[in-house]
Amino acid sequence: MAIGHRALEIAGLPGPGRLARVREWWEQEHVFGYGLIVPALALLTGLVAYPFGMAIYFSLSDYWVGSPGGFVGLHNYREILGNETFRQTVQNSFVFTAIALTLKAVLGVWLALLLARRVRFKRLIRGAVLLPWVIPTALSTLGWWWMFDSLYSVVNWTAIRLGILAAPGPNWLGQSAYAMAAVITVNVWRGLPFFAITTLAGLVSIPREFHEAAEVDGAGPWARFRYVTLPLLKPVLAVVILFSTIFTFSDFNIVYVLTRGGPVNTTHLFATLAYQVGLNGGNLGQGAAISLFLFPLLGAVVFFQLRYIRRE
């Protein structure tokens, strides 16, 4: 053993004593804990903090593609606040989010209640429900783009055959109200599985004894839902609504693939307008200012939602 230790020292390798000390140091709670979070911190710094800092720098400078420009302070923010297209975008974002979120909340709870029932092929049905959420957004939205096409619209053809619409049907992506309805429909279709499956997880955690006791007391289905199920689901619904609000407010793929923000800027959201101004138009300063305008809005939503969740 002595010869082996001597050989390790000659080779410059640490002996068992040094390895034991290093291992003992690494297994200390504060050292090991920080070691585990360092990769996550590096990832957040590289993919979140650094781009966010660059966006703030761009928004405070006259930065164009190929021209770094100089510091201009809040000039870009004053410019976009006086821009009619930006004001239209703010209105579009609130209308889009409010309608889509309401539909996802109502339909998501209803779908979760249906999925919670004991039916044949329950697991297969639950897996099928997740398909809109699993399919890549751009690919599924291209399918909807074809369905809403002005010449080959499957939606119009079906509605005309059912007597709901008169021929030739509306131009879904070429008229303001119909274009907003189209992007809301696709957003609800894609976001509904996330809402339903998360709500279903909350439903299955409610003890059956609560419903059985309410049924013994003479409560009907609606009364059991109103006074038993819904109050116990409130914390889960608050978390789902929080994430769904963030996803809906910052949506980009659906609107960009379907309408590019048109017609006449009536479906622009913050993300699509920032892309159009900053990348297509080359004005990175104003594009960054538009994208950062979303930050305080989402910050306020998150603050009030988290306060409600903590209170619940």
Residues contacting residue 152 through CB under 8 Å, at least 6 positions apart:
146
Cβ-defined contacts of 267-271 (< 8 Å, 24+): 267/92, 267/96, 267/176, 267/179, 267/180, 267/183, 268/85, 268/88, 268/89, 268/92, 269/89, 269/92, 269/93, 269/96, 270/89, 270/93, 270/294
| The pLDDT of residue 185 | 93
Percent of the chain whose pLDDT exceeds 70: 94
Q: What tens digit of pLDDT does each residue of 213-268 get? A: 887 777 788 888 888 888 888 888 888 888 888 888 888 889 999 998 888 888 99
Distance separating alpha carbons of residues 260 and 210, to the nearest angstrom? 50
Question: What is the CATH topology of the domain spanning 75-311?
Answer: MetI-like fold (1.10.3720)
| The pLDDT of residue 1 | 46
Q: Does the pLDDT value for residue 8 go beyond 50?
A: no
Q: What tens digit of pLDDT does each residue of 252-267 get? A: 889 999 998 888 888 9
Q: What tens digit of pLDDT does each residue of 167-181 get? A: 778 888 888 889 999
Dig out the tokens for 29 from the structure: 């709670």
One-letter amino acid at 39 equals: P
User: Per-residue confidence at 312, pLDDT binned at 50, 70, 90?
Assistant: low
User: Per-residue confidence at 13, pLDDT binned at 50, 70, 90?
Assistant: very low
Could you give the residue ranges of the DSSP H alpha helices within the chain?
2-11, 16-26, 29-44, 50-59, 75-81, 84-115, 122-129, 131-134, 137-147, 154-161, 176-204, 208-216, 221-224, 230-249, 253-258, 270-275, 284-311
Q: Does the pLDDT value for residue 9 go beyond 60?
A: no
- Average pLDDT in the 134-150 region? 87
CB 137 within 8 A of CB 289: no
| The pLDDT of residue 98 | 92
Q: Does the pLDDT value for residue 6 go beyond 60?
A: no
Q: What tens digit of pLDDT does each residue of 85-122 get? A: 999 999 999 999 999 999 999 999 999 888 888 777 77
| The pLDDT of residue 104 | 93
Domain boundaries, the chain: 2-59, 75-311
| The pLDDT of residue 45 | 86
